[in-house]
Structure 1
Amino acid sequence: MLQNTPFPRWLILLGLLTAIGPLAIDMYLPAFSAIAMGLQTEPGLVERTLASYLLGLALAQLFYGPVADRFGRKPPLILGLVIFTLASFMCAQSNSIEHLSFWRIVQAFGGAAGMAIPRAVIRDRLNTRESARAMSLLMLIMGVMPILAPLIGAQVLLFSDWRGIFSVMVFTGGALLLATVLSLQESMPKEKALPLKPSHIANNYLSLLQHRSFMCFSLAGGIASAGMFAYIAGSPRVFIHLFEINPQHFGFYFGANAAALIFTSQVSAYLLKYYAPEKLLRVAQNVQIIFVLAGVMLTLSGALTLTTLMIVLLGFMACQGFINPNAAALALSAQGKRLGTASALMGTLQMLAGALAGLAVSSWHSNSALPLTTVLAVCVSLSWFFGRKALKIQVENLP
């Protein structure tokens, strides 16, 4: 059970470990133009390093899941942090967009450990409703990073070049590595260790892919999160180039949307004392689809302004604060014997969807916000569909 304090130390550390992914995603967003200029390449190729990072996050989680179910949660976390720290150093040394793209993928293979394993640690310790509360609290901790990361990145550019941003990532990875080694306790009992055999791993993943409730809840949360990655990939172009926001002020607009996510995730944690996670998920998805469809209509009609865009994005992000933790907790609720593998597959689905959404936004060239609002609408509509299907399956399985 969660302690009376809303922030037990183990949960804070898990939040920071999960936040290392958003740190590496968001911190270099204000430096896109500087990287393009410094490496003498096109801005679109710099944007695609974000898709490369998301692809690396997706594939690497498939590795960490079975390893975490065999050797426990702590060893693969340590391995991931070592890889992340070394790759961050090499990103700072890159002299071409090809080298940067390669080391971003390696960096993602390290950061993936912090994305996949903390969810399994939470489920090791807590039941479904408490897990949903813990994941909401986790979002508060990791949600600070999307606010701080672009602000920190913009400030680093005042006294250093874009390479200094990756140097900050080196320091952060090293600090989290030290904290994990010294303070994180293993949460998986030794008797629950699963064999690390290719046939067993393949059977586990195949079984999960055939588990209708797990897949639908995972896709409901994962595809909605893909909309977030579309926003992350497209926001520098929309805010800085379309609406001519000063790059130094970009972090404030970006942070306002992250603040909405943080606030509503804590409202979700509070409401879980009185309402089931299924109900919170259903209502949030209904509201979210209204906001994003309104965004598409405003864009097509030419009525989209910076103010109305912010309203649409704030509504989208606010609903995410309810959707992400509740969908994740419901997806993992029946996977007690293979939590690491299930959490990894869920994260992989989320990152693959995010990579595709980010690639769609960066590849769609337009002088309007249509690429961003359209991709958001597609992601949210698919999320709504899978959410409804998951809840229907759950009702059908009731005794």
Structure 2
Amino acid sequence: MQRLLTVILACLGMVGALAIDTYLPSIPAIGRAFDVGPVAVQQTLSVFLFMFAFMMLFYGTLSDSFGRRPVIMVALTIYTLASAGAALAPTFGALLLCRALQGMSAGAGSVIGQAIVQDRFTGADAQRIMSHIMMVFGLAPAIAPVLGGWLHVTFGWRATFVFLALFGTVMLLATWKLLPESLPAEKRHAFHGVAIARNYLKVLGHPQFVLLSLSVGLAFGGLSLYIGSAANFVMEILHLPETAFAWMFIP
């Protein structure tokens, strides 16, 4: 049971990474399909990352109030529908909206997954499970653009979003069938928006926390710049095909 739980939580953590990286080889084709420039297409990544980061502030609190499973399942439902919407998007504006919804829902698994580990395990067991989850999470960004490249070459750019919708469906079913609730009702806290805002203001007044957050944020910002420029670098500067992203992402 512990091994199965680790696999499910690791896959839930992969949801965001797959949504960020799988469609990168398709960025030039998306621009051509909707007749928009590269700067506009980059907004599909920027909008996703903004919503992804913003909602990460709230998933822990939401799951403390409403339970771990319900929040994950609602988020996965939104993610799956948004992925399907992106695959069928008739306009660039519709694609941007679907990417925003994807970003809003993609971070639930990674945040709440850590909370589930803390609910169920302590000490060395918790550390071991978290290390396994992070190992799988680290593989996702390397594998996703390679998979996305082959999907694009074989089926076209919309196929990458079909894959994301299918992955979201599988994770939704796995959560429903196999992931038990780890926070009983008697341990939950009432949801009070004013109290939450007050707590965030208190945390932001703690210098050490702010500095640590900025250090992590700058590192993630560097990774985001690397990811955002990957399509242009691989295909426009190096003139490599959509299937060549492994040269940048596997190392």
Q: Verify same fold: TM over 0.5.
A: yes
Contact 2:22 2:144 survives alignment (8 Å): yes
| Alpha-carbon separation, structure 2, partners of 1:134 and 1:219 | 26
Aligned-pair identity (%): 33
Contact 1:49 1:104 survives alignment (8 Å): yes
> Against the structure 1 CA distance between its residues 10 and 24, is the aligned structure 2 distance closer, same or farther, given a 3 Å change threshold?
same
Q: Indicate whether 1:155 and 2:139 are aligned.
A: no
Cα-to-partner distance string for 1:155-174 (whole Å, 9 max, x where unaligned): 11222121111111111100
| Alpha-carbon separation, structure 2, partners of 1:25 and 1:153 | 11
Tell me the CA shift for residue 52 of structure 1. Answer: 0.5
Counterpart selection for 1:227 from 200, 214, 222 = 222
Cα-to-partner distance string for 1:342-388 (whole Å, 9 max, x where unaligned): xxxxxxxxxxxxxxxxxxxxxxxxxxxxxxxxxxxxxxxxxxxxxxx
**2:136 alignment partner in structure 1:** 141
**1:384 alignment partner in structure 2:** none
Q: Indicate whether 1:246 and 2:250 are aligned.
A: no
**1:115 alignment partner in structure 2:** 110
Q: Indicate whether 1:256 and 2:232 are aligned.
A: no
| Alpha-carbon separation, structure 2, partners of 1:75 and 1:30 | 34
**2:84 alignment partner in structure 1:** 89
Greater CA deviation, 173-182 or 58-67? 58-67
| Alpha-carbon separation, structure 2, partners of 1:10 and 1:166 | 26
Cα-to-partner distance string for 1:8-44 (whole Å, 9 max, x where unaligned): 2212111101101011110000001111111111122
Q: Give the secondary-structure state (helix, strand or coil) at the position aligned to 1:94.
A: coil
Contact 1:22 1:145 survives alignment (8 Å): yes
| Alpha-carbon separation, structure 2, partners of 1:218 and 1:8 | 31
| Alpha-carbon separation, structure 1, partners of 2:26 and 2:235 | 12
Q: Give the secondary-structure state (helix, strand or coil) at the position aligned to 2:182.
A: coil
How many residue pairs align between the two structures? Answer: 251
| Alpha-carbon separation, structure 2, partners of 1:9 and 1:157 | 32
Specify the code of the residue in structure 1 equivalent to 2:40. Answer: L
TM-score by length of 1: 0.59
Contact 1:146 1:254 survives alignment (8 Å): no
Contact 2:234 2:244 survives alignment (8 Å): no
| Alpha-carbon separation, structure 1, partners of 2:235 and 2:220 | 23
Contact 2:81 2:165 survives alignment (8 Å): yes
Tell me the CA shift for residue 83 of structure 1. Answer: 0.2
Counterpart selection for 1:172 from 167, 171, 176 = 167
Greater CA deviation, 153-162 or 176-185? 153-162
**2:197 alignment partner in structure 1:** 202
Contact 1:45 1:97 survives alignment (8 Å): no
Show structure 1 runs of 5+ residues with no match: 258-399
Q: Give the secondary-structure state (helix, strand or coil) at the position aligned to 1:58.
A: helix
**1:55 alignment partner in structure 2:** 50
> Against the structure 1 CA distance between its residues 200 and 123, is the aligned structure 2 distance closer, same or farther, given a 3 Å change threshold?
same
Tell me the CA shift for residue 134 of structure 1. Answer: 3.4
1:335-346 counterparts in 2 under 5 A?
none
Specify the code of the residue in structure 2 equivalent to 1:168. Answer: F
> Against the structure 1 CA distance between its residues 126 and 96, is the aligned structure 2 distance closer, same or farther, given a 3 Å change threshold?
same
Counterpart selection for 1:100 from 95, 101, 108 = 95
1:197-346 counterparts in 2 under 5 A?
197-250=192-245, 252-257=246-251
Specify the code of the residue in structure 2 equivalent to 1:34. Answer: A
Q: Give the secondary-structure state (helix, strand or coil) at the position aligned to 1:249.
A: coil
Q: Indicate whether 1:182 and 2:177 are aligned.
A: yes
Cα-to-partner distance string for 1:36-93 (whole Å, 9 max, x where unaligned): 1111111221112101000111222233232111122111000000000001111111
Show structure 2 runs of 5+ residues with no match: none
Q: Give the secondary-structure state (helix, strand or coil) at the position aligned to 2:19.
A: helix
| Alpha-carbon separation, structure 2, partners of 1:70 and 1:201 | 12
Tell me the CA shift for residue 189 of structure 1. Answer: 4.1
Structure with bigger RCO (C-alpha 8 Å, 6+ apart): 2
Q: Indicate whether 1:16 and 2:15 are aligned.
A: no
Specify the code of the residue in structure 1 equivalent to 2:190. Answer: P
| Alpha-carbon separation, structure 2, partners of 1:227 and 1:125 | 34
> Against the structure 1 CA distance between its residues 132 and 245, is the aligned structure 2 distance closer, same or farther, given a 3 Å change threshold?
farther
| Alpha-carbon separation, structure 2, partners of 1:203 and 1:130 | 33
Cα-to-partner distance string for 1:210-254 (whole Å, 9 max, x where unaligned): 34444333333232122111111112222322233332212x113
Tell me the CA shift for residue 95 of structure 1. Answer: 2.2
**2:22 alignment partner in structure 1:** 27
Specify the code of the residue in structure 2 equivalent to 1:255. Answer: F
| Alpha-carbon separation, structure 2, partners of 1:246 and 1:220 | 35
| Alpha-carbon separation, structure 2, partners of 1:116 and 1:191 | 21
